[in-house]
Every structure is written in structure tokens, then in C-alpha cells.
Chains A and B, each alone.
Chain A
Amino acid sequence: MVKVDFKLIDKILERYDYDKGNIIAIMQAIQEEYRYLPQAALEYVAEKIGVSMAKIFGVATFYENFSMDAKGKYVIKVCRGTACHVRKSANVLEAVYEATGLSEGKPSTEDGLFTVEIVSCLGACGLAPVVVVNDEVHSKMTPEKAQALISELKAKEGMR
């Protein structure tokens, strides 16, 4: 659990005029800061802009990009769009899961290092299959390349 800096949330709210209509943008800004939506932050926002917790939770969970749980340091997005699918991205995903020890039901590692997400299409179909680590795109992936990529990240973190 992170500690929420309410001064920072105030700044975000100010930037969006405390306007209910900007709730999605406000949550995007919060997520950019914490990489997920901490409950304390949303409760604060709900109070300040005058919407109910049910509404804010409803909006947050509707959209795929909002995470209600803390994410790992490396967010690995595996594209499962059509083009990537046709070029066997399922195998890449499997390799990523295997290398990180994660699964669809368990998206983040306990050590807070990795989160694996499945995304629909990243718009880089010409380079399929694509894997994105944080904001870095890795194109024309194979299971082997995926495994190597994760080993590299682990090595960088001093893991064996």
C-alpha cells in the first residue's frame, strides 16, 4: 500500500477544476502517479468533487486501463490483437507467464517487480507480435525473445 499524498491530489483536482466531468482524466492523473488507483485517493476525490464512492468505483472499474491494485515495477503488456494473434502471440504470452511465474488470475508478482497484462491492440500490428515493457516496445517477439527479455530485466534487478 502506498501512502497517498493529498496535496498532490489537490493539485490534480485543481488542474481539472474540481469538475465531475473530468473524473476520468483525474483518475488517469492519479494512476500516472501511483501506477494504480489507491482507495484513499479515490475516497478523497469523491468527497472533493461531490460524487459518490459507488459512482467513482463504477467508472474506474468500467475502463480496462484503471487498476485497482498496485502494479509491479515492470508492467509487461502482451498484445493479443488480431495481427499479433495470427502471428502466434499466444505462445509469447505463455512464455512471459512462465518466465515470471504469473497467470491470468495472478497478474502481479509478490515482490512488486512484474505485472503482466493482456492488451487488445497496441496499434503496432506491422511489427506483430508485440510486447511492451512499461513504455518500451519490443517487436516481432518469439517465446525465446520474451524469455530473454525477462531474464534481462531480472538480471538488472539483481535477481537470478
Chain B
Amino acid sequence: MRTKLNNRAEFQAVQAKYEAIHNSANRKILVCCGNGCVSSGSLKLYEEMKTAVKASGLKCVVELMEEPEKDAVNVKKTGCIGFCEMGPLVKIEPEGWLYTKVQISDIPEIIESTIMKGEFVSRLAYRNSGILAKKQSEIPFYNKQTRRMLNYCGNIDCESIEDYIGIGGYSAAVKAIFDMTPEQVVEEVIESGIRGRGGAGYPTGKKWSQVAANKNADVKYIVCNGDEGDPGAFMDGSTMEGTPHKVLEGMIIAGIACEAEEAYIYVRAEYPLSVSRLSMAIEQATEMGLLGDNILGSGKNFHIHINQGAGAFVCGEGSAMTNSIEGNRGMPRAKLYHQVDVGLYGKPTCLNNVETFANIPDIINHGAAWFKSVGTEGSTGTKAFALTGNVNNTGIIEVPMGITLREVVVGIGGGIKNYQDFKAVQIGGPSGGCLTYEHLDLPLDFDSLKSVGAIIGSGGLVVMDENTCMVDTARFFMNFICKESCGKCTPCREGTTRMKQILEDICNGEGTMEDLDELEEIARMMEKSSLCGLGKTAANPVLSTLANFRNEYEEHISEKLCRAGVCQKLSQKVYAINAATCIGCTKCARNCPVEAITGQIKTPHVIDASKCIKCGTCMEGCPAGAIYIENGRKGNVKY
């Protein structure tokens, strides 16, 4: 049980104490326990690491609650360090070394070499084209990012409020409570220019001022949208897991600004780790008097409740979430009123996304000018993205708004996997659109993306290579949205069903050219007449692939060809080796990413068609020109 802090002075004393500890040069072993690394077994790794450190006779400190002894080793579980592709990750402080793909069997060596002797285990280091990177900051994946919102992720114990306070946490909330009026808080947020990170990009300060304007409401609510349902996006999950206190702090500040005392966090069902870390954080903050009644003796109250979703994408929509929190079917409401006036339980409600709240403490602490110092004029600050798909480095990244797509895909993502050609990036999930080669130099911000028919959405960036069929991609998203449509309004319920059917027909080689017009017409109708944002944007992937890859649709229809070889019922590329000309050099077999090619040295090789993913690497590298495509056409048409 933690001691309750009764006033500001007590808080400051505690902060000073933990700050000193944090800044001490103690040896720390930080095990990444974000969702990605946990999936790769990092929780077990963390436990084993603790045991091993203790067994080796070293003094080991896990929690900050006690005064650590001078030369004790800190073993901490941190939030997502971001480089999920290379997990489980282990960071060594104070050197700042980063070990990748650490297995339990690596623990003895880490303890013996690194902890005991201070030596670097180069075997576990990240290598970029053979160049070894010792520190996180030497890795291109990191050094091109600007980590602000996620600045604590990976540096502190995500399950410890002491760590958070020690690094400056809750000072923004304390400042807002004691030094600022609600109006000043709203003003600062407006001035920062921050726009909602959840999708539509509505100015956060404006929303807060609208909620605050309902002066006579007896109850107001703050709701944090953690229902990150976009396939391919997991930033909010990482944020909730990795820096839960920052989210809470942002919500407290929103409570001050809007004069609300009750708050809900709606967490997606698939994020149990987020739920447990947030619950833990709420418990800790309540124990210390930073949440609950009479926060730090200020007379202000703030209560946060967690609602766990139950598997419905549409609940990410504000009024559907409200319905869900109230225990109803998560169907969006008719938009007669705005949530800021009539929201949860009919009361004024301020609903923001996780990432938006997590940005707030820094705005209050460092000021609007600092926040605006990165980003573009219309889209200030940084944005977290989940970089996934056919790119070398996948993971969570945080970059300034306005960074180009090229910098993300090539600079941070390290280019396309398996030396394939870049084809497109799907941004904004099922409500978003695709960006192509010609958009590589487009700045990623709210307005530029909108101008090309895409949206920033919640920030999923799925990179697609040339082996991705864009018709199939559109079908995939339509299938998703069709399954997730709540069924309330006719355009979305029936429109998505019809579009999905048409796209399936096209993928099966049964489409007609008229179908393309029909797709567009249904899409336009849905966009304009659906009830909620989900329906209005449901057709975006179709519209955007139609605009950018119409030729692929046409090939599917008129030539019955899927150039990417994805649509099974259409003619595909089948790679084969001409036994007569093959010199048996084994190069193709070595290059093949899926080991589909076999053969003895100096004898003709064969391709196992069932394993082949049609990436074309073998053909490109063959010195004898023995590899050819049979039963189809060559697919490499330049865009």
C-alpha cells in the first residue's frame, strides 16, 4: 500500500526522491514487455532474468518503492520499445545498449559479460546491412523518429507509478490543478493546435471548450477511446500498455479543463494487457491520492473507470461507444445532438483517443509553443504509427507530422522485405485509402492525406509490395467492414454486402466492367448517406484502389488476370526452371525466401509450386536465364 499524498508539497517531495533514484547511475536491465515482445515470450524472459540476477549473487531491485541499495541491479519491465520485429528486446542502462531477439538461453551470457564485466554481447546486437548498432540511437529505425508521446516507453517500468513520477510524471496534472484555471488549460490546448489522433482530426481544444461551455450540467464525462479496432494498428494498445499513467494524466487534465469528475476508458477486448496495466495504474494513482476524491487536497475529484469492449469495431465510433458503455448494442445514434452536449447517459461528454490524451501532459508541461515546434501548421506535434506489412522493420514509430511517406517506408522501415518492389501503403485502416509510388513524397498530415482521398485514421501503415493484389485488398477491407457493420442503417448494411459480393465476383473472374461503375455509385451513396463515420468511410479502400489501380481491376475483369497471383481462380504466374539451361549454381535456392527451390549442386533445380510465393527473386538473380514464367503473363507492369 502506498502512502496517500495530501497536498502539493508532499507530492513534490516524493517526486524529488524518485527523480534522484531514476537519475542515479544504477545498472538497469529493461525487458520490453509490450504486446509484441510479450507475444515473443518476454514476460517469461523477464521472470527468468530476475531469478538469474538474484541467483548470481547480485543485489536485485524490482520495484522502486523501497530505497535501492547503491550497486543493486534494476530489472524492469518496460512498455513497448517499438521494434517489435526484433523482439524480445532488452535494453541495458546506463550504456543504452539494445539487445534484440533475446532468448532465455542468452540470459547467462548477458549477466556474465554485460552485468558483471560491462562487456557488450555483439551476438545480440542489431545489424543493419552488416553494420552493428550497439545503442538504440544508432539504429536507423529509431534515429529517424521523434519520440515524444512515447518518450517514457522503454525507459521506465510501465507498471510503476514511482518510475513515472520520478521521470516527471503527474507534474502536468498538478500544474493544471493548482496553477491553472480550466479556461487556461483549454486555451493552452487550443493554442497547441493538437487535433484528435483517433481519425477525424477534430481540434481537441475546440472540443474541450464545447464541453466546458455546458456550465449548468450536473454531470459531465470524459471518455478515452481505446477501442483501437483498425486491423494493422496497435499504437493505442502500446500506449496504454507502455505508458498507462500518461494516459491517465491526460484524462485528469481534460477533467480539469471540462470540469468533469467521471471518466471512462473503453478498451478493446483484444487488449487484456492494456486493461491490466491501466487497472494497476488507476489503483496506484488512487492510492497516492492522484485520483479519486480531493486530489492532493485540491478539492477536485476525478474517477476513472475501465470498460472492456466485447468485440465490435463500430464501438470506436463515439455514439456507439457511448451506447456500449451504457450496456447497449453498440449502434451509433442518430446525430440530432453532439456528444459534447448530449453524450454518455445524456450528459456532455468529452471523447478523445488514447494518443490524444497521452499528448496532453507534455503540452501542459512544455507549453503549446514547444508542441508546435514539430509538425506542420495544420497538423502540429508528432504522430504514432504502426508500421507493418511487407517492410523490413515493423513496429511502433513516432514521427513529426508532415514527414514524408518515403522517410517512413525507406528511412525507418528499411525498405521492402525480400527486395520486392514497393506497391502501396494502406493508411487509416478500413476507413482509409492507399497511397502509391507517386505519393511517396507526400507529407503525412491530416490535410495532405485528405486531399488524396486517404485519412490518417488511427495511424495504421500497412506496406504492400508487388505481390499484393489491390482488388483482393479492397475485398479484404470490404469483407472486414461488412462483418463489422452494425446493421442499423441501410446504406452501410446493404451497401457493404453488395460491394463485397461484387468484389468477390471480380476476384473470382466473374466481374464485368459495369461492376466498376456500380461499385463507385454504391460507394458514393454510402459516403453521403450513411448514418455514422464507419459507413461514410467504408468505401474508401474501394474508391482509393479504384482511383490508383483501376488497371488491376480491369485486368481481373477483362483478362482474368491477377498480376500479383493472389486471386486463386485467375491465371497466375507459375515460376519454373528450364532444366536444359539450368547450370545448378544454387543461387536461386539460396535466394528463395521460402525455400521453395531444391536441387543438388551442378544439377538442374526445381521449384515447388506449392511453396512458391511468386516473389520473382529467383528469376532476377539467375545468371543463366533459366527461370521463366509459364502459364501466364509476366506481371511486372510499371505504374
Check A-B contact in the complex, CB < 8 A.
Answer: yes
Task: Indicate if the CB atoms of A23 and B311 lie closer than 8 Å.
Answer: no
Task: Indicate if the CB atoms of B389 and A86 lie closer than 8 Å.
Answer: yes
* Residue A102 is within 8 A (CB to CB) of chain B in the complex: no
CA distance A24 to B326 in the complex (A): 9
CA distance A14 to B306 in the complex (A): 18
Give B486's nearest chain A residue, CB to CB: A62
* Residue A134 is within 8 A (CB to CB) of chain B in the complex: no
For the complex formed, measure the closest distance between the CB of A122 and the CB atoms of chain B, giving whole angstroms.
Answer: 6
**Cross-chain pairs A/B with CB under 8 angstroms, 14 sampled:** A59-B327, A63-B310, A64-B310, A65-B269, A83-B231, A83-B232, A86-B389, A86-B464, A120-B229, A120-B483, A124-B36, A125-B84, A125-B388, A127-B39
Given A86-B388, A125-B394, 20 more pairs with CB closer than 8 A: A21-B326, A21-B327, A25-B307, A62-B312, A63-B312, A82-B231, A82-B460, A82-B477, A86-B389, A87-B389, A120-B231, A121-B229, A121-B230, A121-B234, A123-B228, A123-B237, A127-B39, A128-B388, A130-B39, A135-B272
CA distance A58 to B312 in the complex (A): 13
CA distance A121 to B462 in the complex (A): 13
* Residue B433 is within 8 A (CB to CB) of chain A in the complex: no
Give B480's nearest chain A residue, CB to CB: A120
For the complex formed, measure the closest distance between the CB of A135 and the CB atoms of chain B, giving whole angstroms.
Answer: 8
CA distance A74 to B331 in the complex (A): 31
Task: Indicate if the CB atoms of A126 and B87 lie closer than 8 Å.
Answer: yes
* Residue A81 is within 8 A (CB to CB) of chain B in the complex: yes
Q: Among B84, B230, B331, B462, which residue has its beta carbon within 8 angstroms of that of A86? A: B462
* Residue B324 is within 8 A (CB to CB) of chain A in the complex: yes
Task: Indicate if the CB atoms of A82 and B426 lie closer than 8 Å.
Answer: yes
Residues of chain A at the chain B interface (Cβ within 8 Å): 20-25, 27-28, 58-59, 62-66, 80-83, 85-88, 119-128, 130, 135, 137, 139
Task: Indicate if the CB atoms of A81 and B308 lie closer than 8 Å.
Answer: no
Q: Restricting to B252-277, which residues have a CB under 8 Å from any CB of A?
A: 269-272
Chain A residues within 8 Å of B451, by CB? none
Chain B residues within 8 Å of A123, by CB? 35, 228, 234, 237, 270-271
For the complex formed, measure the closest distance between the CB of A116 and the CB atoms of chain B, giving whole angstroms.
Answer: 16
Task: Indicate if the CB atoms of B232 and A82 lie closer than 8 Å.
Answer: yes
Task: Indicate if the CB atoms of A64 and B311 lie closer than 8 Å.
Answer: yes
**Contacts A82-B476, A86-B468 hold; do A137 and B39 have CB atoms under 8 A apart?**
yes
For the complex formed, measure the closest distance between the CB of A63 and the CB atoms of chain B, giving whole angstroms.
Answer: 3
CA distance A103 to B325 in the complex (A): 33
**Contacts A59-B328, A82-B460, A122-B270 hold; do A27 and B310 have CB atoms under 8 A apart?**
yes
Chain B residues within 8 Å of A139, by CB? 39-40
Q: Restricting to B525-545, which residues have a CB under 8 Å from any CB of A?
A: none
**Contacts A58-B329, A82-B389, A86-B389 hold; do A124 and B462 have CB atoms under 8 A apart?**
no
CA distance A62 to B394 in the complex (A): 33
Chain A residues within 8 Å of B39, by CB? 124, 127, 130, 137, 139
Q: Restricting to B227-246, which residues have a CB under 8 Å from any CB of A?
A: 228-234, 237
CA distance A80 to B626 in the complex (A): 37
Chain B residues within 8 Å of A65, by CB? 269, 310-311
Task: Indicate if the CB atoms of B84 and A121 lie closer than 8 Å.
Answer: no
* Residue B613 is within 8 A (CB to CB) of chain A in the complex: yes
* Residue B390 is within 8 A (CB to CB) of chain A in the complex: yes
* Residue B318 is within 8 A (CB to CB) of chain A in the complex: no
Chain A residues within 8 Å of B486, by CB? 62
Contact indicator per residue, chain B 451-482, by CB within 8 Å of chain A (1) or not (0): 00000000010101000100000001100100
Task: Indicate if the CB atoms of A124 and B231 lie closer than 8 Å.
Answer: no
For the complex formed, measure the closest distance between the CB of B623 and the CB atoms of chain A, giving whole angstroms.
Answer: 29
Give A22's nearest chain B residue, CB to CB: B327
**Contacts A83-B389, A119-B270, A127-B39 hold; do A28 and B308 have CB atoms under 8 A apart?**
yes
CA distance A137 to B234 in the complex (A): 16
Task: Indicate if the CB atoms of A28 and B310 lie closer than 8 Å.
Answer: yes
Give A139's nearest chain B residue, CB to CB: B39
Task: Indicate if the CB atoms of B270 and A121 lie closer than 8 Å.
Answer: yes
* Residue B199 is within 8 A (CB to CB) of chain A in the complex: no
Chain A residues within 8 Å of B331, by CB? 62
* Residue from A122, A125, A126, A135 with most neighbouring chain B CB atoms (10 Å): A126
Q: Among B38, B312, B390, B426, which residue has its beta carbon within 8 angstroms of that of A64? A: B312
For the complex formed, measure the closest distance between the CB of B312 and the CB atoms of chain A, giving whole angstroms.
Answer: 5
Chain A residues within 8 Å of B460, by CB? 82
Give A121's nearest chain B residue, CB to CB: B231
Chain B residues within 8 Å of A83, by CB? 231-232, 388-389, 394, 462
Q: Among A25, A85, A128, which residue has its beta carbon within 8 angstroms of that of B476? A: A85
Chain B residues within 8 Å of A128, by CB? 388
* Residue B429 is within 8 A (CB to CB) of chain A in the complex: yes
Q: Among B85, B229, B307, which residue has its beta carbon within 8 angstroms of that of A126? A: B85
CA distance A124 to B88 in the complex (A): 13
CA distance A87 to B272 in the complex (A): 25
* Residue B386 is within 8 A (CB to CB) of chain A in the complex: yes
CA distance A135 to B35 in the complex (A): 12
Cβ-closest 6 pairs across A and B: A126-B84, A64-B311, A63-B310, A65-B311, A81-B231, A82-B232
* Residue B330 is within 8 A (CB to CB) of chain A in the complex: yes
Give B271's nearest chain A residue, CB to CB: A123
Chain B residues within 8 Å of A81, by CB? 231-232
Contact indicator per residue, chain B 131-168, by CB within 8 Å of chain A (1) or not (0): 00000000000000000000000000000000000000
Q: Among A22, A63, A124, which residue has its beta carbon within 8 angstroms of that of B311? A: A63
* Residue B553 is within 8 A (CB to CB) of chain A in the complex: no
For the complex formed, measure the closest distance between the CB of A123 and the CB atoms of chain B, giving whole angstroms.
Answer: 4
Contact indicator per residue, chain B 500-518, by CB within 8 Å of chain A (1) or not (0): 0000000000000000000
Chain B residues within 8 Å of A85, by CB? 231, 476
Task: Indicate if the CB atoms of B310 and A66 lie closer than 8 Å.
Answer: yes
Chain A residues within 8 Å of B327, by CB? 20-24, 59
Q: Restricting to B289-346, which residues have a CB under 8 Å from any CB of A?
A: 307-313, 324-331
Give A84's nearest chain B residue, CB to CB: B231
CA distance A87 to B391 in the complex (A): 11
Chain A residues within 8 Å of B389, by CB? 82-83, 86-87
Give B315's nearest chain A residue, CB to CB: A63
* Residue B250 is within 8 A (CB to CB) of chain A in the complex: no
Task: Indicate if the CB atoms of B310 and A125 lie closer than 8 Å.
Answer: no
* Residue B395 is within 8 A (CB to CB) of chain A in the complex: yes
* Residue from A85, A88, A128, A139 with most neighbouring chain B CB atoms (10 Å): A85
Chain A residues within 8 Å of B234, by CB? 121, 123-125
For the complex formed, measure the closest distance between the CB of A156 and the CB atoms of chain B, giving whole angstroms.
Answer: 19
Give A16's nearest chain B residue, CB to CB: B327
* Residue from B325, B462, B464 with most neighbouring chain A CB atoms (10 Å): B462
CA distance A137 to B464 in the complex (A): 24
